Amino acid sequence: MIEKRGRPLAYHSLTYEELGQYVGAWGMVPVKKSWLENLGFQFDEEDSEELPCHTDKQTKETTPEIKYSITRFE
């Protein structure tokens, strides 16, 4: 038996309903473009640009400021 090399595949199957419970109706889920093309989805030239799931600006707006103080023990 030949051993497989490299990182193991990390795919998991779940239903569309289950996915919706985790990300909601408008959640961004990254998928391969080739997978969508195999399903029959056609891209316009405008759609070929990759969009990030979130930006640093969005993260800063949604992350509350954490206040802390450092205590030194001697």
Contact 23, 29 (CB under 8 A): yes
pLDDT-derived band at 58 (thresholds 50, 70, 90) equals: low
* Radius of gyration for the chain, computed over Cα atoms and rounded to the nearest angstrom: 21
Report pLDDT for 74. Answer: 78
* Residues 14-54: tens digit of each pLDDT: 898 998 888 888 888 888 888 888 989 887 766 555 656 55
Residue 5 has pLDDT above 70, yes or no: yes
Contacts of 27 (CB under 8 A, 6+ apart): 20
pLDDT at site 9: 75
Non-local CB neighbours of 29 within 8 Å, separated by 6+ positions: 19, 23
Check: pTM over 0.85? Answer yes or no: no
For 53, the 3-state DSSP assignment is: coil
Domain boundaries, the chain: 27-41+53-62
How far is it, in rounded angstroms, from Cα 58 to Cα 44? 27
